[in-house]
Structure 1
Amino acid sequence: MLFIHGMGHYHPENVITNRFLSSLDIGSDEKWIMERVGIEERRTSLDLDYIRLTLNRDVRGAAEASICTRAWCGAQAARMALERAGLKPEDVGMVISGSSSPYIVCPAEACSVAAELGVEAPCFDVNSACSTFIVQLCNLAGMRRESLPRFVLVINLEHVTHSVDYSDRNSAPLFGDGAAAAVVSMKEEAPVEFFGAGFFSIPGSWDKAVIPQGKHFYQEGRAVQGYAIRKTTDCLRHLQEQYGAEAPVFRFIGHQANYMMLTHVRQRCNIAEADHWHNVQEFGNVGCSGAPSVLSMNWDKLEPGDHTAMVVVGGGLTYGRAMLRMSGLEDQGEYYAA
C-alpha cells in the first residue's frame, strides 16, 4: 500500500485572462473561448509583454522571458507538501520529477528541484505526458518496500506556456503553468491511501499530441478530445463499479484539459457537480500537474471514508486511473508525526 502524507501546489503570479488573449487579435474573443473550452484564466511563468510583443513565435526566447525557473516552482509546491506532512527537506530520501514539457534533457529535472530544496538524495525523472502523476505512483507502488526510503518526494512540473504558439487561437486559450508535489511512503502510514491503480497506452497514436524539441505544441484536437472523453469515462466507470458501493462519498478528479471535456465525463458517469473537484477554469490545462494540484487545493476538505477517483489522460497516448481513500487514521491517533 502506498500512502500520501501531504500534497502541495504552486501557480505563477502572471495571469492570462480571456480579455488578454482577445487583445492579441488572433480570432478568439472571450465568448468564443468560454464556449469552446470553458477556461476563464490561466497562469504563466512568461512575462506578459513578451507574449504580447512576440506571441512566442520562437520558443527559444521563452526561457529568458520567464519570471521564475522550473526548479523554483517545483520547490514551492514541495515545501507546501512537506509542511502538510510535518516533514523537512532532510527527511526526503528520494526525489522523482516528471513533466509533459521538460526543459532540461540532461540531467533529470528532479536534480534541479532537489538542489533548490537542499535535498541530498537519489533523483530521477518519470515522464508520461499528462498521465505522469499516476504513472509515478504506480511505479513506486510496484517497487520492493525494503528498497525505498521512508519518504519519497514526487514532483509534477510544468511550464507548458513556453511551448505555446500565441498566434494559434486553438492552443493559446488552453494552457497554463504550475507545479504539484506529493510526499509519499510505503513504510509510514498516512490518512490518504493510494490503491486500485493502473496505467495504459495506445502507442500507435503517439503523434496525436506532441511537443517537438524546440518547437510549439501540436495536437489533432478533435481526435484527442474524443479519446480523452472516452478513456476518462471508461476508467471512471471502472472505479465506480469496483469501489463506488463502499464509498459514502465518491468524488472525481480528472485531467484538467478543459472544462467542457470534464463536464461531458461527469454527466456520462452521473457524478454530481458537488463531487467533481476541478480548477481548470482558473488555471487552464497545466499538464501533469493539473489533477494533483486539484487534490492539493482540496486537501483540507478530505474526511474519513471519502473516496476520490483520479483519472488522467495524455500524450502517448497514455491514460491512468487510481483511487484515493481517506482512512481516518488521524482520528485514531496513528498518523505519523515527524
Structure 2
Amino acid sequence: MLYLHGLGHFHPENVISNAFLEELDIGTNEEWIMERVGIAARRTVMSLDYIRSTKNVDPRAAIEASDYNNAQIAAFAAQMALERAGLSPGDIGMVISGSSASDHLTPAEASTVAAELNIDVPCFDVNSACSSFGMDIHVLDMMKPETLPPFVLIVNPETMTRSVDYSDRAVAVLFGDGAAAAVVSTRESSGAVFLSSFCDSKPTAWEKVVIPRMGYFRQDGHAVQGFAIRKTTDSIRALQSVYPVNRFVGHQANLGMLRTACERTGILEEQHWHNVEYFGNTGCSGAPAVLSQHWNDFSPGDHVAVCVVGGGLTWVHTLLKIEDQL
C-alpha cells in the first residue's frame, strides 16, 4: 500500500481559447473544436504573441518564448502538495519525476525539480508518457517499504504546447501545459491510500504516439482514441470487480473519450471528475491535477478509480481509497 499525504497542481496563466485558435486561421472554430474534443480552453507557458506570430514553427525557439520551465511548474505544484501534507521540502527523502516532454535528455528531470526546491536527495525519472503518474505510483508500490525514505515526492510537469505545430488544427486544439505533484509514503499512514495498481503495454504499437527529439507531437488519432477508450473501459471494469468504485478520474485526453468510457461502465456524470474542457490535454499531469483540484471534495469511503493511458502504448490503473477526512 502507498499512502497519499498531499496533492498539488499548477497551470500557467496564458490562456489559449478557442477564439484564439480561430484567429490563427488554421481551419477551425468553436463549434468544430467542441464537437471534436470538447475543449474550451488550454494553458500555455509560451507567449500568445509568439504562437500568433510564428505558430511555433521552430520548437527549439519555444524554450526562449516560455515564461516557465518544467522544473519551475513542478516546484509550484510540489509546494501546494507539501503544504497540504503539512511538510516542508526538507522532509522529502526522494523525488521521482515523470513527463511526456522533459526539458533535458540529461539529467533526470527529478534532479532539476529537487534543485528548484533546494533539496539534495536521490532523484530519478519514470517516464511513461501520459500514463507516467500511474506508472510512478506502480513502481513505488512494487518497492520494499524499508528501502524508501519516509516521504517521497512525485512530480509530473508537462509543457506539451512547446511540441505543438500551431498550423496543424488536429493537434493545436488538444494540448495545454500544467504540472501535478503528490507526496506519498510506504511507511507513514494517512487518510488516503492507493490500494492497488496495475500496468501493461503494447510496445508493438509504439509508433502510434510520438514526439521526436526537438520535433512535433504526432499520433494516429483514430487508432489512439479507440485504444484509449477500450483500455480505460477495461481498467474501470477491473477495479469495479474488486472495489465499490464511486469516483472516476481518467487521462484528460478529450471529453468525448472519457464520457464514452463512463457510459460503458455505468459511471454517472456526478461521479466523473475531469478538467479537460478547461485545461486541455496536459499529458501525465492531467489526472493527478484533477485529483488535486478535488482535494477538498474527498469523503471517507470514497473509492476513486484512476485510469490512465499513454504512449508506448501503455495503460495503468490504481484505486485511491479515502479512509478519513483529509
Which interval holds the TM-score relative to the shorter structure? over 0.9
SS at match of 1:27: coil
Give runs of ≥4 in structure 1 deviating > 2 Å: none
Note the aligned Cα RMSD (angstroms).
0.8
8 Å CA contact 2:70, 2:102 repeated in 1: no
Aligned to 2:11: 11
C-alpha distance in structure 2 between counterparts of 1:166 and 1:117, whole Å: 33
Q: Are 1:259 and 2:255 an aligned pair?
A: yes
8 Å CA contact 1:15, 1:44 repeated in 2: yes
SS at match of 1:66: coil
C-alpha distance in structure 1 between counterparts of 2:89 and 2:120, whole Å: 9
C-alpha distance in structure 2 between counterparts of 1:145 and 1:242, whole Å: 24
Match among 296, 307, 311 for residue 307 of structure 2: 311
C-alpha distance in structure 1 between counterparts of 2:22 and 2:260, whole Å: 26
C-alpha distance in structure 2 between counterparts of 1:208 and 1:20, whole Å: 28
Aligned-residue offset at 1:102: 1.1
Cα deviation digits, residues 14-58 of structure 1 (max 9, x gap): 000000000000001111000000000000000000000000011
C-alpha distance in structure 2 between counterparts of 1:111 and 1:252, whole Å: 32
SS at match of 2:287: helix
8 Å CA contact 1:9, 1:77 repeated in 2: yes
C-alpha distance in structure 1 between counterparts of 2:48 and 2:57, whole Å: 14
Q: Aligned letter for 1:281?
A: E
Aligned-residue offset at 1:196: 2.1
C-alpha distance in structure 1 between counterparts of 2:161 and 2:102, whole Å: 12
Gap runs ≥5 in structure 1: 331-338
Aligned pairs for 1:287-298 (under 5 A) are: 287-298=283-294
Gap runs ≥5 in structure 2: none
8 Å CA contact 2:8, 2:77 repeated in 1: yes
Aligned to 1:333: none
Percent sequence identity over matched residues?
57
Q: Aligned letter for 1:187?
A: R
Aligned pairs for 1:52-71 (under 5 A) are: 52-71=52-71
Aligned to 1:328: 324
8 Å CA contact 1:96, 1:123 repeated in 2: yes
Q: Aligned letter for 2:139?
A: N
Cα deviation digits, residues 168-191 of structure 1 (max 9, x gap): 000000000000000000010011
Aligned-residue offset at 1:140: 0.7
Q: Aligned letter for 1:289?
A: S
Q: Aligned letter for 2:130?
A: C
8 Å CA contact 1:18, 1:41 repeated in 2: yes
C-alpha distance in structure 2 between counterparts of 1:146 and 1:17, whole Å: 48
Aligned-residue offset at 1:69: 1.6
SS at match of 2:236: helix
C-alpha distance in structure 1 between counterparts of 2:322 and 2:243, whole Å: 13
SS at match of 1:312: strand
Aligned to 2:89: 89
Aligned-residue offset at 1:329: 6.8
C-alpha distance in structure 2 between counterparts of 1:175 and 1:119, whole Å: 31
Q: Are 1:184 and 2:180 an aligned pair?
A: no
C-alpha distance in structure 2 between counterparts of 1:95 and 1:76, whole Å: 14
8 Å CA contact 1:190, 1:329 repeated in 2: no
8 Å CA contact 1:3, 1:192 repeated in 2: yes
SS at match of 1:64: coil
Cα deviation digits, residues 119-145 of structure 1 (max 9, x gap): 111111110001101111111111111
> Please, what TM-score do these two structures have when normalized by structure 1?
0.95
Aligned to 1:26: 26
C-alpha distance in structure 2 between counterparts of 1:310 and 1:179, whole Å: 17
Q: Are 1:160 and 2:156 an aligned pair?
A: no
Q: Aligned letter for 1:97?
A: S
Q: Aligned letter for 1:304?
A: P
SS at match of 2:242: helix
